[in-house]
Amino acid sequence: MAAIFAYLWTVFGILVLHEWIVLSRHGIDYRFYGLAFVNSWILAKVVLVTEHFDVLPRWVGRPPIYRIVTRSIGLALILVAAYALEETVIGLVRGRSLADSLPMVGGGVHGYLAISVIMAVALVPYFTVRELGRVLGRERLRALILSEPAPPSRLGEEDR
């Protein structure tokens, strides 16, 4: 859960930083109050639950890229839906109508589609590491990433 949270917090933090830069260029004051932290924690739980459901048995025996892309797109859609549901519930609890509670994303449906694409692309590295860990084994992957690589051997040197 900690790894999922850290990854999502990094991604959301970068997106919030980008939003702050864009808004500041237009003279719009933007204050960050930990939204990336809270959303990362909530959505990490969603990711943890969805990872327990293997809905991709059709990709067994195929290259990992199929699982990586499918999981990235599927989870991006789930995360965007979870965000919309969360904002709607918060609006209803605060006494707003259902129509006023639905989060407005710039461009309506196109805005939601854009956020889904951004999230899907942002999730590709996460699922790539997960799939490599599944294929290679977590310990071997950890050793590949965290250990200093052996110097490349010269051709024929091992025959001596």
pLDDT at 158 over 60: no
Percent of the chain with pLDDT over 90: 9
pLDDT given for residue 46 in this prediction:
79
For the chain, the first-to-last Cα distance in angstroms comes to 49
Question: What is the reported pTM?
Answer: 0.73
> What is the average pLDDT value for the chain, to the nearest integer?
81
Q: Which residue has the higher pLDDT, 149 or 40?
A: 40
CA-CA distance, 100 to 49, in Å (whole number)? 29
pLDDT at 120 over 90: yes
- Most confident of the ranges 24-28, 31-35, 132-136: 132-136
Contacts of 112 (CB under 8 A, 6+ apart): 80, 84, 105
pLDDT given for residue 51 in this prediction:
72
Q: At what angle do helices 138-146 and 109-136 cross, to 10 degrees?
A: 100
- The token pair that represents 6 in the structure block: 């850290």
pLDDT tens for residues 33-90? 566 777 788 888 877 887 777 656 666 778 889 889 988 998 888 888 887 887 788 8
Closest CA to 18 of 122, 97, 103: 122
